[in-house]
Amino acid sequence: MAIVALGVVYGDIGTSPLYTAQTFLSGQGGIGSVDREAVLGMLSLVFWSITLITTVKYVLIAMRIDNNGEGGIFALYSLIRRHGAWLAIPAMLGGAAFLADSVLTPAVSISSAVEGLQTLPPLEQLFDDNPSLTLMITVVIIVVLFAVQSRGTESIGRVFGSIVLIWFSFLAIVGLTNLSNDWSVFEALNPVYGIQFLFSPHNAAGIALMGTVFLSTTGAEALYSDMGHVGRGNIYFTWPFIKVALVLNYFGQGAWMLANDRNPDYTTMRTLNPFFQMMTPNVRYLAVILSVTAGVIASQALITGAFTMVSEATRLNWMPHLQVRYPARTRGQLYIPVVNGVLCVSTLLVLAIFKDSEHISAAYGLALTVTMITTTVLLGVYIWYSGRRFWAAVFVVLFLAIQTMFFVASMAKFLHGGWFTCLLTCAILFVMVTWDQGTKLERAQRSHMQPKDFLPALDKLHGDFRIPYFADNIVYLTSDPETKRLDTDIFFSIFADHPKRARAWWAVSVETTDEPFTREYSVERFETNYIYRVRMRLGFKVSQSIPAYIHQIMHDLSKSGELPKQKSIYPKVDADPDIGTIRYVLIHKALMPESKVSAWGALSLQAKYTIRRVAGSPVKWFGLAPYNPLVEVQPLFVSTRRPPRLKRIEPSMAGRPTAESMRIDKADPAAVPDPMDTTSGLGRLVHAPEASVPTGRPVAGKGDKNAVRPPRPAARKSRL
């Protein structure tokens, strides 16, 4: 698993030596414009950024604050959300920014590595004659990378892990080779050099230098998010080796720059990359091959992190439930086909827009600075409520100061490509916010029935042999976790049009817990043998294959005598003769045109329904497709408006204006509350969620005005 950890979580941070020093020289005007003060200043800033941001903040602090072994900004938010509703804002913003960066990382990492092929003399002419060849190779590699994700990160990590071990060993050896000529660069371990150069007039890049330094820490957030895939202990075990290799390579590049700052062969070079130039030509071939592989592995770190982030966002009801696969038995392995497809298409779109790594890098990193800032805020809140308030204040002030400089420096990239990152972040944030608000609005309209209200009608239907069975078992899926009551929508679905008679009705709710591997259920049967209220509690890493769990629960109840014996004499899809036929029913809500809802509420609901259609229905989420489930649509009433009353007139007066209709100062009758309006009570649901409020349907029971029963059929007059 230590090898797997190398292949899964360190790819992004392992490619930073490829372009950090190159970007530094470009910002300073070339190698001829830098001196010892500049080189030592840059190395000092890089070393202390890696030490403070990656080692201290993420490895030593953030990884100790985990949610049952799971890391990432959403897992962190789950631990502290009880301390304030406002915490959802930085959590959503940081998560959206991380997912946006997951699109850019494969594009910039792989394209920059593939472009290294152009530096090899035998291939120079080939790439000059075919300018689009680099882009074509990058596209092929990206498509293959996303295609193998379904095999799971365990198998990918084993292959990549061995290569990463070779890659970081190569970084350390190359760095040591160049350090042997000048060990004095280790003076840069003194942070004073970095601070002095940052504010020195000799710094041609100004505060934008911090944007270059930030490139050395870009893999830190992915390292935290991927903790659940490989385990915290494996990261602790491997990080010292990773950091030593990075520091040796950066300082080796610094020693090479000091040795060649006046070399005319390099001062006139249009694009100079110290990483490749500090090697002999023969070694450079190996470096290009390894760097291309490292670019692919860097993409893998962000892809696996994106799977984790989306899975946790789903648990928080910030994203639609998506089909999740578990391709390996190793703890934490998951694969989300929809997310994989969206990331692949989005990455190819980035390549189509920006063409090469130089333009993609302009958008790279900006979103990740937002994620780091929001993670700092949430970590500070956790430490504060843990009782260590002084250290919480020190932590927030120190890291917000550093990361704010990163953000300000990255904003210089906005017009050169950063706009795309911001646009992508806003699009993901819109999905999260509208899904969250739409879900809350739906649940605010939910009404419920007590056993004394629904049991008499169900008991009568259960024993009415004039009505044939719709199925032996009718299973409704509901989001209501309360087991002592029944969702009104389920009740009216049973009696709508033709009553759905069954041997047993099941109302099943699935709750996703904060623990990753919870598997438990509870049952309330209201002292009957025909109505069962089931509540499942599944961990957010547990597959939600509902049919398998339903069969287990039915068998358990049948063995205990709580469910009458059911025998199926005909073949069924589930091939279970000890359980009768099962029909699944899902109820979807639809916003009616006459509903009285704010513009933002209507937008949230419509956006949620659109996203649900695009992302896939719950039929796929819960594995119900083979069972031919019934999907019903019921209206979602949100303080429904009463239409104006019609006035009856004589047929001879039709089309003629009356005196009353010509009076413009007369009040509109529709504006006056109607005492007979039976839908007015629904408005209270928005302010009193989960309340048992009548929905305007006929009531049953004497003296109980809130009891609900199915509507009576209209009386008929018989003709003689």
The model's pLDDT over 314-338, given as tens digits with 9 standing for 90+, comes to: 878 888 877 777 665 444 567 788 8
Segments in the chain below pLDDT 70 = 119, 151-158, 229, 269-271, 301, 326-333, 357-359, 361-363, 514, 516, 540-541, 616-617, 639-641, 653-720
> 6 and 31, same structural domain?
yes
Sign of CA dihedral 552, 558, 559, 565: negative
Range of the domain at 208: 1-437
> 364 and 472, same structural domain?
no
pLDDT at 102: 80
CA distance 176 to 251: 9
Compute CA distances 23 → 29, 30, 42, 213, 551, whole Å. 10, 10, 11, 9, 60
pLDDT at 246: 94
pLDDT at 245: 94
CA distance 584 to 617: 14
Sign of CA dihedral 450, 451, 456, 457: positive
pLDDT at 330: 47
> 118 and 14, same structural domain?
yes
> 87 and 55, same structural domain?
yes
pTM over 0.85: no
> 417 and 560, same structural domain?
no
Among 596, 615, 635, which residue terminates a domain? Answer: 635
pLDDT at 332: 52
Residue 182 sits in a domain whose CATH number is 1.20.1740.10
CA distance 392 to 175: 37
First and final CA of the chain: distance in angstroms?
86
Condensed to tens digits (0 to 9), the pLDDT of residues 678-719 reads 333 333 433 344 443 344 344 344 444 444 444 444 443 333
Compute CA distances 30 → 217, 271, 346, 449, whole Å. 23, 9, 34, 75
> 494 and 422, same structural domain?
no
Asked if residue 6 is part of any domain, the answer here is yes
550, 456, 462, 444: which is closest to 507 by C-alpha? 550
The conformation of residue 325, written as its DSSP 8-state character, comes to B
The count of structural domains within the chain is 2
The conformation of residue 231, written as its DSSP 8-state character, comes to -
> 392 and 457, same structural domain?
no
> 70 and 146, same structural domain?
yes
pLDDT at 242: 92
Among 589, 614, 635, which residue terminates a domain? Answer: 635
Q: Are 95 and 74 in contact (CB under 8 A)?
A: yes
Asked if residue 476 is part of any domain, the answer here is yes
Asked if residue 685 is part of any domain, the answer here is no
> 407 and 496, same structural domain?
no
CA distance 208 to 213: 9
> 290 and 230, same structural domain?
yes
> 31 and 68, same structural domain?
yes
pLDDT at 540: 65
> 379 and 514, same structural domain?
no
Asked if residue 678 is part of any domain, the answer here is no
Among 603, 619, 635, which residue terminates a domain? Answer: 635
Asked if residue 286 is part of any domain, the answer here is yes
The alpha helices in 117-152, defined as continuous H runs, are 121-129, 133-147
pLDDT at 717: 38
